[in-house]
Amino acid sequence: MPAFAASSAIPSPAAPRVPDTLQQRIAACTACHGAHGEGSPGSGFFPRLAGKPAGYLVRQLQDFQNGLRKYAPMEYTVRGLDPAYLREIAEYFSTQQVPYARSPLPAVSAATLQRGAQLVSTGDPARGIPACERCHGSQLTGVEPDIPGLVGLPYDYISAQLGAWRTRTRGTVAPDCMAEVAGRLSETDITAVAAWLAGRELPADMHAQPAGSVQPPLHCGVLAGNGAGT
């Protein structure tokens, strides 16, 4: 018998069985966002998922599916996932409680930080810019079930996302109140807000505020089903 025929008769070893667990199925998520969704504060590129409201996380996954948020690896990862699976992923990360790690901050002037503090706490009424606190909560830790926290996020991530909304390269269901607000911010405003938020001391309680504890000043499509937004 030819040597190649003899070798073809040797059975190949069975492929190892992959465990069907949620941790295994979200390996594509944790490879970038961390085992518990803690993010990558060192790079400032992959945001924290842990502890964010589940409704917000579901919406972001849906926005990637629907082309409203643009990032090819995320769009590919969630393309074929059904709504129940998206909810399962979101619920998992929303319940994770892991310590926050601070990210590098840029060197900005005291005047820039003062401007950031103003926009976050009181906004700029003359330009129709509401305070961040009006939607994201008095401690900026978010509001259940759909509004994310802002404190603890890296400067680079905050700046990039505000810039994406301002240029309409990131969006969500209409009316898109974040695009409306970001469109009224200047580039220096975005730097100021991102720097102030990234450097803010973290509150003792980082949990999102209860549902209904804020009344957003703008009508937001993502909140329409929860009786929020005016």
Provide the mean pLDDT of the chain.
90
Closest CA to 223 of 181, 174, 158: 174
Closest CA to 177 of 116, 225, 130: 130
Q: What six digits make up the tokens of 16?
A: 């190892």
Closest CA to 61 of 179, 183, 214, 52: 52
pTM confidence score: 0.87
| Mean pLDDT along residues 12-19 | 68
The torsion defined by the Cα of 43, 46, 47 and 51, in degrees rounded to 10, comes to -110
Among 23-27, 161-165, 225-229, the range scoring the smallest mean pLDDT is 225-229
136: confidence class by pLDDT, cuts 50, 70, 90: very high
Note the pLDDT of residue 102: 84
18: confidence class by pLDDT, cuts 50, 70, 90: low
| Residue 109 pLDDT greater than 60, yes or no | yes
229: confidence class by pLDDT, cuts 50, 70, 90: very low
Among 84-98, 189-203, 213-227, the range scoring the smallest mean pLDDT is 213-227
What count of other Cβ atoms lies within 10 Å of the Cβ of residue 120?
20
The packing angle between helices 54-65 and 83-94, to 10°, is: 140
| Residue 177 pLDDT greater than 60, yes or no | yes
Q: Which residues are bridge partners to 124 per DSSP?
A: 129
202 contacts 100 by C-beta, under 8 angstroms: yes
Residue scoring higher pLDDT (5 or 164): 164
Q: Is residue 126 helix, strand or coil? A: helix
144-167: pLDDT as tens digits: 999 999 998 999 999 999 999 999
Residue scoring higher pLDDT (88 or 20): 88
| Residue 101 pLDDT greater than 90, yes or no | no
